[in-house]
Structure 1
Amino acid sequence: MSDNTTVNAVIFDMDGLLLDSETLAMDALVISGRELGYDMPDDFCQAMIGMPADRCREMVVETYGEDFPLKAFFDGQETALHRLVEEGALTTKKGVEKLLDLLDQHQIPRAIATSSSRYRTDRHLEKAGLGGRFNAIVSRDDVSQGKPHAEPYLTAAKALGVEPERCLALEDSYNGIRAAHAAGIRVIMVPDLLPPTDEMRELTFDIVDSLEDVAKWLAPRLSAN
């Protein structure tokens, strides 16, 4: 897809891209680990960003051993995250409303491709006031292989009825960018907790500071649709 190609659909990651939720998820991991008597360093928690839940479980076992109380840990994280969200800590990222309004104006279909569960996805979108603003949602529960595999993005493009090369993906995580690229979808990185790397610069079409920048880039490419 060249720079001049119009965009017929947009596929969003959710955590760290639409929602300022990655920091909350990390905080919840630390809280749950502390309650079980384990130290969860920030860099270890950060390494799980963008990973499917099954891979996160593998990483914990690899780091803390087979005797680690895995179920209690992730149940505790879910409880802590739920509490943080209920306390009003979940917010949208800069530029979300502006970008979605632009897509509404041009009647551009959009989907979410996320590594979160369907329950968490639906609940967090509703809490953030974004429920009903997407034509399709592909959660980790809806695919057999999560990011960095291409399946989440291919499934989202199919659900929108748009060829992958006519879509634009928006991501903040390394695995999400790898997944979109593997699906043949042009991807823009909007960094959250993970900084751009040489690999990400190679795989992405562009790296921008916020979704406001994405809206500015998209506007002239939607008017011809």
Structure 2
Amino acid sequence: MTASEQTWVAPQSVIFDMDGLLIDSESLAMKALNKAGEEMGYDTPFSFCQAMIGVPIDRCRSLVAERFGEDFPLDLYFATSDKHFTSLVEAGHLQLKAGVENLLGALEEQGISKAVATSSSRRKADHHLELIGIRERFSAIITRDDVQRGKPDPDPFLRAAEALQTPPERCLVLEDSHNGVRAAHAAGMRVIMVPDLLGPTDEMLEKVFMVADDLNVVAELIRSSVPETAPATKQ
């Protein structure tokens, strides 16, 4: 765990990424993308699939086209990947990440509002959050369908802050992906990185408040926080 030289101030709102942060879905997505490539006779190693973590679907399609050429059957590839991903989810492999319940409880104890900002679709986000039983614990869910520009642009986080009626500088973002960290930083928000499949780079360390091993670390930080208070007025 590392921390920057920024001073910690308790947030008014916390905005969560979803895949790889709240739910252990990135590893399932990597397996699905890899298996789809194998079925179609293409080499799609995990090192290549990792480049699509935290990336909007249009950019994912561009990455695949750049690797395999314009004749590559993109629609079939992603449809096949979705089929394998759905099979893994239906088999019960979708799980909460460590510390989720602990952190949600800590935020609710202190009355800190919560939102999700994800690169997933509305359909997938609602389904997955409902499936693991935490959908109703968030005041807002912002998906790729709600913004014109996804991560690494700041739009998803700014839209979430607007929904929570919280200034960006009073929001804390929790992210596992590099593009998510970039988006939160561009939005003017404090960000804690909780790595999943991608570790922190020098660029990430410059942008984050800290790197946490899991969400239990963030829960401890929240519970130890003293809420920011307005200056006393003179009588």
TM-score normalized by structure 1? 0.97
1:19 touches 1:90 (CA, 8 Å); kept in 2?
Answer: yes
Is the partner of 1:111 in helix, strand or coil? strand
The answer to whether the 8 A contact 1:16-1:172 is kept is yes
Q: How does 1:145-156 map to 2 (within 5 A)?
A: 145-156=149-160
Which residue among 118, 133, 142 is the counterpart of 2:137?
133
Residue 11 in structure 1 maps to residue 11 in structure 2: no
Q: Match for 2:37 among 21, 27, 33? A: 33
Within 2, Cα distance between the matches of 1:106 and 1:218? 8
User: Residue 72 of structure 1 corresponds to which residue in structure 2?
Assistant: 76
Q: Which runs of 4+ in 1 moved over 6 A?
A: none
* Cα pair distance change 1:216/1:57, threshold 3 Å: same
Larger Rg: 2
Number of aligned residues = 225
The residue identity in structure 2 corresponding to 1:200 is M
SS of residue matched to 1:10: strand
Q: 1:86 to 1:78 in 2, by over 3 A?
A: same
Following the alignment from structure 1 to structure 2, what is the Cα–Cα distance between the partners of residues 178 and 128? Answer: 28
CA displacement, residues 4-42 of structure 1 (integer Å, 9 cap, x when unaligned): 422100000000100111000000101111221212111
Given residue 222 of structure 2, which amino acid in structure 1 is its aligned partner? L
The 2-side partners of 1:4 and 1:224 are apart by 10
Does the aligned pair in 1 maintain the 2:17–2:176 contact within 8 Å? yes
Task: Find the aligned partners of 1:181 and 1:107 in 2 and give their Cα distance.
Answer: 24
Match of 1:109 among 102, 108, 113: 113
Secondary structure in 1 aligned to 2:148? coil
Residue 2 of structure 1: how far off its partner (Å): 5.1
Does the 8 Å CA contact 1:8/1:222 hold for their aligned counterparts? no
User: CA RMSD of the aligned region, Å?
Assistant: 1.4
**2:87 matched residue in structure 1:** 83
Contact kept in structure 1, 2:107 and 2:222, CA below 8 Å:
no
Where does the alignment leave 5 or more consecutive residues of structure 2 unmatched? 230-235
CA distance 1:162–1:222, change in 2 (3 Å): farther
Between 1:163-172 and 1:31-40, the stretch displaced more is 31-40
Say if 1:12 and 1:18, in contact at 8 Å, map to a contact too. yes
Q: Give the match's secondary structure for 1:51.
A: coil
Counterpart CA distance in 1 for 2:32 and 2:134 is 22
What is the distance in 1 between the residues matched to 2:224 and 2:124? 34
Pair 204,2 (structure 1): closer, same or farther in 2 beyond 3 Å? closer
SS in 2 for 1:11: strand
Q: Are the counterparts in 2 of residues 172 and 191 from structure 1 also a CA contact under 8 Å?
A: yes
Give CA deviations for 1:116-154 in whole Å, capped at 9, x if unaligned: 111111111112121211100110111000000010110
